[in-house]
Every structure is written in C-alpha cells, then in structure tokens.
Structure 1
Amino acid sequence: MRLIPLLALWLCLTCQSALAAPVRVLNIIVGEWPPFVAEQSKQHGPVAHLIRDLFKEAGYEVKFHFAPWGRVYSLAANSQLYDATAVWMYKPEREQDFLFSEAVLQEQFVFFSLKARKLQAERLEQIIGMRLGGDIAYSYGPELDKMVADGKVTQQKVTDVKQNFGKLLRDRIDLYPQELRVGLAELQSQLDPASAALITHSQTPFLRNDSFVMFPRKMPDSAKLRDQFNQQLQQAIASGRYQRYFERLARGEY
C-alpha cells in the first residue's frame, strides 16, 4: 500500500514537469557597435547585457545574432526570423517596418579628424564643402543627412569603423562622424597607438541622440514584447540599475 502514495507523488511531479512551459528564446539581430554592443566583449557589451537582463526579468532568454549593419535592417524587417533588432536611431520611415521601444541609450556624436589638419568642426555650418566618412545604413541625424542630400558635404560610407579611420589617416576623407565613446573605443582596439595618436575629435557634439530596440511589425508578438520590455526598462531606470551598466563600462568591466 505504501507504493500507492509514492506512485501518486511521482505521477504528480511528472505531470507538472511535462506541463511546465519551456522558456521562450528571443532571437535579436544586431550589428557591431562597440563598446555598447560587441560580439567579442563580455556579455556582448553593456547595452546587449541590459537588453538580455530586461527580457530575462520578463521571462525570456535572448540569443544575439551578429551581422553587418547593411544587412541587419532588411533581415529584421523581412525575414521573420528575428524578434527584435538593436540599437537604432529613430527615423519616421522606420515606423513602416518596426515598433520602437523607449530609449535604451543616449549617444553623443562628434567629428573625428587628423590633428595635423586643425579642422574646425564644432558647428555644422563649419563643415560645408568637406568630405565625410560614414557607416553603411546609418543615419547621422536629420540635419547632417539633409546636408548630404543637398550636396553641402559629400559622404563616402563603408562597412565598419576601422575602414573609416583608415580613410581618415590616408587623407581620403576630412571628417568621420561617430558616437564619441564608440569612436574612442575603436581607436584603442583597432589602431596602433602611433596611428591613434594622430586623430582627435570635435569637443561639441553635433548630435545628441537616443537609440532604441526595434520590433518587426511582421512578427505577431512585437507589440507585446515591446510593452514588456518597456515596463522592465522603466523599472530599471527608476531603481538605478540602468545606470550601473554604464558605470561598469566606465570601469572597463566589459
């Protein structure tokens, strides 16, 4: 008779285990954006770490997929393989394809240049006629984008930050617009010290920008995931946990 209670207990535990839903894995496609998002960094960098933790608190696991920025947008928008993509500047036309989260990152964009050129680039009106570098599929804000469209400056876009600094060192471009911390991190990691020492940057940001996680409109759960993510993000900001990721970055922990 003792076997009956034991058997009942075993059956109960087995049923509970069978009924327990597996944790859903979210596939998020990203591009290299060191130090914020980087495949080789610890936790893939502070912003990727933040995104993973926020979704974990909402009951999900996250798998990041890295691809060139030129492909990330179209893959996220059209392939129906990815639940989200990060991180992106807001542009109205992107709302046709995506829902935007609340801001996950505040960025400051400056112009990098050769010290020897002593170029003045503290205001956009000072750069008229100059040759700019840039990254494929990236916007540098409506004002600078319009200057390019109007022909007030020329812009040659390539696939990564290292290529842009190489063109700067070879005097093939005059200025390279880039987020300050991203540019400084790439100078340290991608160039030798002697080459990095030849490059400086403007002191006044030409763009202060928020960046977002984007959720594809073609995916049925995007609105739900966006709302859950925003709720966790708000709680992290209110509690002070949000800022700790960037404090760790400043201490070199990523």
Structure 2
Amino acid sequence: MATLLCVAMVHILAPQLHAEESDSTVRLTNGHWPPYMENTPPHFGVISQIVTLAFAKEDISVTYGFFPWSRARLLAQKGLRDGSVAWTCRGKLLKFFHFSDPIVAHNYALFHRKDMDFDWDTVKDLESYRIGLTQDYNYGEEFEEAVAAGTISADTTTSDESNFRKLAAGRIDLFPMEPAVGMGMLKELGLSDKITFHTTPLQSDYL
C-alpha cells in the first residue's frame, strides 16, 4: 500500500485488531492541534482530512483516537494503534516507526508578551531568556542541543495551553509554537491582546 502522506506507522500492527478489520481500517492516534488536527468531526482538521482521503484511495478507512501527544505516541509505539498523526521525522522515532512522505510544511515561531522588547537572529541570542517547551515536540537540532547543554534555560510541560498561560503571567519569556496554531489557541484562551510572535522561525520542517 503506497501512501502519500508524515504519518508515523508502527512496525507491527496492533495484535487485537481482527484480521478482517485490519484489511479495511487503520486506527491512528491524533492530537488536538487546530487547524491541522482537531477533535471535531467530520474531518478532524486539515491534516487528518488529507490522511483520510489518501487511505480512501486504497479503499481503507481511518479511525482516530485523540490523546495528549505523549500518550498518542506511546499507544502507537506499543502497537495498541496502527500509527499516529502527525510528527516530524527524527532519529529517536525511527527506531519504532516507519514514516510516510511529508503532508505539510510547518515552522515554529517564538511567541512573547507584547510589552517585551524582543528581537533575535541566532540561537545564541536566546541564552538570556526563560523558554517554555512542550514535551515530545521537535524544536530543531541546534536549539535542542543548546537546551541539552544547559546554555538555554528551558522549562518543559505537557501542554501548549499551560505554556501560553505561563508566558502571559511572566513565568517564562518565550514559547516556540506554530503560528497558526498559536494564534488560534491564544484567541481561545483570551490572551490575543497580550501575546504576539517574532517572524523569524526557530525551526522549519515537515509534518
């Protein structure tokens, strides 16, 4: 089966699937990251719809389970689901998954409070800031190496919403997030008047 979608497909199909179901249905984990992925029928976001249409070309239907990102990855990794939507292709995931072709390009921008005078050009420029990160996200090799080396102060949580609240409250200075997702989330949280983002991308990649 050829799929032109970046879905991470687990090496071994989930053992509890009935044989007849596995021939006509794939079960994928997903996360709420609108407008790309969202727990709202009928299409479940732009990426989910692309994935569904691609599998439909092979007469295969798709069902989605929505979870926090760490759980979404773990369920697929353990073979309790057939795969997961949608991730950047990186070495530590390649040990457990096959990756499809890319679905969409995306980037992370650095969000900051509007009352903060912020500009940057290189990762080294970020060393004086407190930066919030979300668990299981990929922020680019150079940035993640700086975090691992301790030259960048990072505080990791499991929730994008939590990071935006911390940013608004002044508990962190910067938060990298995909701009379209971030602006929509800020509107939902009622924080659009307090937070904006710098147009220089921290990382550009594909899902």
Query: For residues 68 and 109 of structure 1, what CA distance do their matches in structure 2 show?
Result: 19
Q: Does 1:206 align with 2:180?
A: no
SS at 1:187 equivalent: helix
Q: Does 1:52 align with 2:52?
A: yes
The residue correspondences of 1:156-167 to structure 2 (distance < 5 A) are 156-167=155-166
For the 8 Å contact 2:77–2:97, the answer to whether it is kept is yes
Cα displacement (A) at 1:129: 2.5
Query: For residues 129 and 40 of structure 1, what CA distance do their matches in structure 2 show?
Result: 40
Q: Which is worse superposed, 52-61 or 129-138?
A: 129-138
For the 8 Å contact 1:76–1:85, the answer to whether it is kept is yes
SS at 1:172 equivalent: coil
Q: Does 1:65 align with 2:65?
A: yes
Larger fraction in helix: 1
Partner of 1:152: 151
- Structural RMSD (CA): 1.6
**Alpha-carbon deviations, 1:109-146, whole Å to 9, x = none?**
10000011112234322211211111112121111111
Cα displacement (A) at 1:158: 1.7
For the 8 Å contact 1:111–1:121, the answer to whether it is kept is no
Query: For residues 122 and 33 of structure 1, what CA distance do their matches in structure 2 show?
Result: 27
Q: Does 1:30 align with 2:27?
A: no
**Structure 1, unaligned runs of 5 or more:** 1-20, 212-254
User: Structure 1 residues 122 and 114, CA, compared in 2 at 3 Å: closer, same or farther?
Assistant: farther
TM-score, normalised with respect to structure 1: 0.70
The residue correspondences of 1:2-151 to structure 2 (distance < 5 A) are 24-40=24-40, 42-78=42-78, 80-151=79-150
Partner of 1:5: none
Cα displacement (A) at 1:98: 0.5
Cα displacement (A) at 1:198: 1.2
Cα displacement (A) at 1:191: 1.8
Query: For residues 153 and 48 of structure 2, what CA distance do their matches in structure 1 show?
Result: 33
For the 8 Å contact 2:139–2:202, the answer to whether it is kept is no
**Structure 2, unaligned runs of 5 or more:** 1-19
Query: Rg bigger for which structure?
Result: 1
SS at 1:138 equivalent: coil
User: Structure 1 residues 117 and 42, CA, compared in 2 at 3 Å: closer, same or farther?
Assistant: farther
Cα displacement (A) at 1:106: 0.4
Query: For residues 172 and 41 of structure 1, what CA distance do their matches in structure 2 show?
Result: 36
Identity score, percent? 26
Cα displacement (A) at 1:29: 0.6
Partner of 2:192: 196
The residue correspondences of 1:234-253 to structure 2 (distance < 5 A) are none
The residue type paired with residue 144 of structure 1 is F
Query: For residues 51 and 132 of structure 2, what CA distance do their matches in structure 1 show?
Result: 30
SS at 2:50 equivalent: helix
The residue type paired with residue 77 of structure 1 is Q
